[in-house]
Amino acid sequence: MRIARRVTYGTLSMLLAAGVAQVDFWPLSAYKLFSGVRTDTVTSTRLVATLDDGREAAVGRGADPVLGPTQNFLPELHDAGPATRQVMLTTWLEQAGLDPAEVRHLRTERVRRVVDPATLAWSETVLDVRWTDALAVEGEL
């Protein structure tokens, strides 16, 4: 009985400590999955590339093993150093199937998506442009 209490109290203490300290370690690494409030409005940041022919391509999110997890760094892109920024952008573009040599301009946009409760269709509104880069024009990307 004493061992069961110690295990129970120890486990609860570890869960509480990890939640309060916001520490992400195994096996307590999944608590963030349930910490977000889900509403009908989502605000996110996306990367948009303008190609040499004038077309614009949003560098996608989703299930891609590189793009999905790493695009959480987009809001901090403008604060990154030039070398770090170049590696990040080149990796994202190549992973999205875009040739970095064909990219003329890059920008990050803060986007708000709202779902219509009747049709369940999402609509997007660009709130503002956070960061722009014309280095691709000069061939430095």
Could you list the residue range(s) of the whole structural domain that residue 8 is in? 2-33
Are residues 90 and 23 part of one domain? Answer: no
User: What confidence score (pLDDT) does residue 36 get?
Assistant: 62
Q: Is the peptide bond before 82 cis (omega within 30 degrees of 0)?
A: no
User: pTM higher than 0.85 for the full model?
Assistant: no
Residue where the block lists tokens 């986007």:
111
User: What confidence score (pLDDT) does residue 127 get?
Assistant: 85
Do the bridges between strand 122-133 and strand 56-59 make them parallel or antiparallel, or are there none, so unpaired?
unpaired
Domain assignment of residue 105, yes or no? yes
User: What confidence score (pLDDT) does residue 27 get?
Assistant: 67
CB neighbours of 94 closer than 8 A, spacing ≥ 6? 100
Are residues 21 and 61 part of one domain? Answer: no
- Give Dmax over CA atoms of the chain in angstroms: 73
Are residues 123 and 77 part of one domain? Answer: yes
Are residues 10 and 50 part of one domain? Answer: no
Domain assignment of residue 124, yes or no? yes
Domain assignment of residue 138, yes or no? no
Would the CA dihedral through 53, 54, 57, 58 be positive or negative?
positive
* Cβ–Cβ < 8 Å for 105, 21: no
Distance CA 41, CA 62 (A): 18
pLDDT along the chain (141 residues), means of 10: 93 85 68 66 86 86 70 80 86 88 88 90 86 55 46
Are residues 87 and 69 part of one domain? Answer: yes
- Name the H helices within 34-107: 67-70, 82-95
Distance CA 106, CA 97 (A): 15
Are residues 13 and 63 part of one domain? Answer: no
User: What confidence score (pLDDT) does residue 7 get?
Assistant: 94
Domain assignment of residue 84, yes or no? yes
* Cβ–Cβ < 8 Å for 126, 109: yes
Are residues 115 and 48 part of one domain? Answer: yes
